[in-house]
Structure 1
Amino acid sequence: MNIFFRGVLLLAAAALVGESLEFIVNMILARQLGELGLGHYMSIFPTVILIIIIASLELPISISKFVAEKEEKQHYSMLKHATKLTLILTAAMIIIAIFVLPFIPVFNSYHPLVRWLMVLLIPLISLTSIARGFFMGKQQMGKLAFSNLFRKFAQLILLAGIYQLFSFDRETAILIALATFVGSELVVFVYLFTAYLLQFRKMKYQMNQNLSAGEVTKSLLAVTIPTTGLRLFHAFTNAVQPFLIKYSLTLTGLSDVAATEQFGLLAGVAITIGFFPAFIAHSLLVVLIPTVSEATAKKDVDTLKMLLIRIMKITAAYGFPAVIIFLLFSEKLTVMFFHSASAAIYLELLWPSFLFTFFLIPLQAYLIGLGLITTAFIQSVWSTIISFFLMYILGSQPSFGMHGVIIGMNAGSVLLMLLHYFSVCKAIGITFWLGARNNFQE
């Protein structure tokens, strides 16, 4: 348990610095690109995240679960087979991307080189995922924390330096913003994969148990396929969401430019501020997956129950004060960091989405660790359908507009968090009020 909390504190401290740097990056983007340019950047970024998820194959989760659940003597053989599998799949994805990306219409409004940046991103993410999964499973959170800091520092330095030295039109400025993001991933790859190779070579000379390629592939894919499906669904809906929001707003009579500007304020200002405290939730997620996986493999019910109670208390301890601050100082925050008072009302209205997402993120990690990935996927589908339906119906009404979109976003977050919470409580034998109920359900 001490290792768990040390890992959370280390990741949270690094993430706090990283999120602060991310905040500065978004401030630079907002000032350099303007409201319209920021709207275009925020519209393409979910597609970038979708490519990252496909490229990662969710190996950080599947490898970390394997490392946490299996004996150490099996790790070397597993990693050797996982690396070969990743190289084959990465080569296939690069070939597919080269032929498919030119025909994806979402890139038509951007600089032609953006497509090639996405191709370059694939091997960086794929190979880094192996190292990230290994260090997660071994609970060497220091390397993950430092890699996150390196990424943010690299992106900030590159972005600020290039924008300071040169002047660009809007299309090229967006290209530069995406290029600095890819450059920061290159820095992470060099650091993490080098550290991974050093440990991998040491493991070669230890007492190891050979595993068959089929056995390792089956074990990894049993986690990778459903988890990738879940992440792809989230990424796909996040990629569709900007266009759904802007289309709904145009039905109220807004022009395309005005709808894009409003979305830029929502995603680039209000959501950036509101999800700032989520670095704690993501830190919990990274540490929870191997911890819950190990406890589940050992059928350590007491640890599972105690962990759930503690993460709910930790989330409440920072989540409630955060949303109170957003409600009381919304205009001061948006003006201070983004020189925009218009986004203050969005920040205020989105508080349920922020608060329930803080709880939702570690609960999703719990479901993955418990092996209930299919449950998480089904619940995500239902909550997204309801959320999108409300966003479209209410957002397209002139009397609601963006306020209707926000109601739909809030509804989706609240529903999904409650579904995940009830599922976790039922699986580990605990009541809604965190009291003991029954035995652990395998």
Structure 2
Amino acid sequence: MSSFFRGTVILVCAAFLGECVEFFVNMQLARELKEEGMGVFMSLMPIIFFLMILATLEMPVSISKYIAENKRDTHLSLLRHALKLGLQATLVMVVLIAIASAVPSAFSRFPNHIQWLLFAFIPIAAFSSIARGYFMGIQEMGKIAISNILRKTAQLLLLLLVFQLFDYDQETSLLLAIGTLIGSEFLVLLYLFSLFLIHIRGLRNFSNQELTETEARKKLLSVSVPTVGLRVFHALTNAVQPFLIQAALIRSGFTEVSATEHFGVLMGVSMSIGFFPAFIAHSLMVTLIPNVSDAYARLDGKKLHALLHQSMWVTMLYGTVSIFFMHMFAEKLTSLFFASSVAPFYLKLLWPYFLFHFFITPLQAYLIGIGLVKDAFLHSVWSHVFAFGVLFVLGSMPSMSMDGVIIGLNFGAVLQALLHYFTVSKRIGSRVWLLPWRVEL
């Protein structure tokens, strides 16, 4: 079995278990936080992910790409510089959060003392990302898989522990929900970083080539900066999206509370169910980046075509089956969270959004591997600009409201997937659906 398939199978199996646990996590959160609390929680999550992106500098991507493309004698030096860069990023982010927390209105919508949890989250995210990137690069996907299961399982156990022992008001419940998330990330850090240090000691036994700080930073940041730009844009759009959707709904005639509740149902229930199969897409992404990077560095056109062909067909297979299953059992699936007459309707209407996002993830990994991160960023910008425009215009109409919001989301996903696919095909001279293939590198 090839390293691509072996790594993908390991990650898919582990991710499936993790997503099953995540499903129970979201059910527990929905029951404890209710519609309005779930809306606030889902509004806070994009901000946490945004801080994580800035703290990690997307080093899992840059480190894994470098490790896959270069010989082992330079790995130790690069990792030392990466650790130093991670420490610097942590210090900068801690200062920025401290400045933000001094502004009275910065965290006014969220639970009190949330900034202290964010202070703890920054170094955890920064240093675990370095270890994660290294293990991705050497394709030891078993360690990545275990860390993913550990995170989800620990979060569920912590949630059950804190919510079963006592009853809390909504603000305290929100704070505890975020705390369990960060606590699970801390356990992942302990696991990955301890194994990472063992590997570092092993690298010292070999002859190593020393990279200058300038050279190492250039190699890391040449991938990290555009990737961070892409992820920052995604994080910003995810952070803006809740307010844009709720503003559109209010303009269409919804009350503020009703708009928050519908957003909570959309993101906390329909999106949680619809993106359940996305663990396969994420697993493909993790394995594709080092494999595509290695093949592109060696100008191995046959392997590049095979990877694209395999990843697209795997995505088509599980994507169509997942969409069919969600349509058939929409009512039963959404009822697992809480009773809602609109959640099954939203889930069914969002099928293009889910299906095309399953394609977007591996295609984005492919673009990173062949050095087209800038193109991936531009595709994301254009698709979100058009999607948000459609979303707000149609969502503000009283006759459309949530239907208009969903149309906008679907439109953006379809556009981005098509832009990604045709750009990849043009670069490597391949069409998945047409034979014979051409090799143009």
TM (normalized to structure 1)? Answer: 0.98
Q: Which residue of 2 aligns with 1:314?
A: 314
CA distance in 1, matches of 2:129, 2:267: 27
CA distance in 2, matches of 1:437, 1:5: 21
CA distance in 2, matches of 1:215, 1:252: 54
The one-letter code of the counterpart of 2:17 is: V
CA distance in 1, matches of 2:12, 2:264: 28
Distance 1:432 1:303, change over 3 A: closer
Q: Is residue 2:4 matched to residue 1:4?
A: yes
Distance 1:411 1:105, change over 3 A: farther
The one-letter code of the counterpart of 2:19 is: E
RMSD in angstroms over aligned alpha carbons? Answer: 1.2
Q: Which residue of 2 aligns with 1:205?
A: 205
Q: Which residue of 2 aligns with 1:378?
A: 378
Q: Which residue of 1 aligns with 2:424?
A: 424
Q: Which residue of 2 aligns with 1:335?
A: 335
CA distance in 2, matches of 1:12, 1:431: 26
* 1:245-267 deviation per Cα after TM superposition (whole angstroms, max 9, x unaligned): 00000001111000000000000
**1:95-106 superposed matches below 5 A:** 95-103=95-103, 105=105
* 1:367-399 deviation per Cα after TM superposition (whole angstroms, max 9, x unaligned): 000000000001100000000000100000000
Give how far 1:227 is off: 0.2
CA distance in 1, matches of 2:59, 2:188: 16
CA distance in 2, matches of 1:315, 1:432: 12
Give how far 1:207 is off: 1.4
CA distance in 1, matches of 2:330, 2:115: 37
Q: Which residue of 2 aligns with 1:132?
A: 132
CA distance in 1, matches of 2:114, 2:102: 10
CA distance in 2, matches of 1:35, 1:347: 16
Q: Is residue 2:112 matched to residue 1:112?
A: yes
Give how far 1:132 is off: 0.5
CA distance in 2, matches of 1:432, 1:157: 43
The one-letter code of the counterpart of 2:382 is: W
- Count of matched residue positions in the alignment of Structure 1 and Structure 2: 441
CA distance in 2, matches of 1:436, 1:134: 37
Structure 1 stretch displaced more, 355-364 or 326-335: 326-335
The one-letter code of the counterpart of 1:169 is: D
Distance 1:407 1:105, change over 3 A: farther
Give how far 1:114 is off: 0.8
Give how far 1:438 is off: 4.2
Q: Which residue of 2 aligns with 1:83?
A: 83
8 Å Cα contact 1:102-1:115 kept in structure 2: no
Secondary structure of the equivalent of 1:187? helix
Give how far 1:437 is off: 5.4
The one-letter code of the counterpart of 1:146 is: I
Q: Is residue 2:168 matched to residue 1:164?
A: no
Q: Which residue of 2 aligns with 1:174?
A: 174
Secondary structure of the equivalent of 2:371? coil
**1:203-282 superposed matches below 5 A:** 203-282=203-282
TM (normalized to structure 2)? Answer: 0.98
* 1:38-85 deviation per Cα after TM superposition (whole angstroms, max 9, x unaligned): 111111111111111111100000000110000011101111111112
Distance 1:346 1:106, change over 3 A: farther
Structure 1 stretch displaced more, 79-88 or 97-106: 97-106
CA distance in 2, matches of 1:321, 1:103: 48
Q: Is residue 2:176 matched to residue 1:183?
A: no
Give how far 1:106 is off: 5.3
Q: Which residue of 2 aligns with 1:69?
A: 69
Distance 1:106 1:260, change over 3 A: farther
Give how far 1:213 is off: 1.2
Q: Which residue of 2 aligns with 1:283?
A: 283
For structure 1, list consecutive stretches of 5 or more residues without a partner in the other structure. Answer: none
The one-letter code of the counterpart of 2:429 is: G
CA distance in 1, matches of 2:95, 2:312: 44
The one-letter code of the counterpart of 2:284 is: L
Distance 1:437 1:120, change over 3 A: same
CA distance in 1, matches of 2:104, 2:358: 33
Give how far 1:104 is off: 7.7
8 Å Cα contact 2:55-2:86 kept in structure 1: no
**1:30-41 superposed matches below 5 A:** 30-41=30-41
Secondary structure of the equivalent of 2:244? helix
CA distance in 2, matches of 1:320, 1:314: 10
* 1:179-207 deviation per Cα after TM superposition (whole angstroms, max 9, x unaligned): 00010110010000111001101111211
The one-letter code of the counterpart of 1:333 is: L
Secondary structure of the equivalent of 2:340? coil
CA distance in 1, matches of 2:289, 2:431: 22
CA distance in 1, matches of 2:434, 2:143: 34
Give how far 1:92 is off: 2.0
The one-letter code of the counterpart of 2:29 is: L
Q: Which residue of 2 aligns with 1:397?
A: 397
The one-letter code of the counterpart of 2:216 is: V
8 Å Cα contact 1:11-1:145 kept in structure 2: yes
Q: Which residue of 2 aligns with 1:48?
A: 48
CA distance in 2, matches of 1:184, 1:163: 16
For structure 2, list consecutive stretches of 5 or more residues without a partner in the other structure. Answer: none
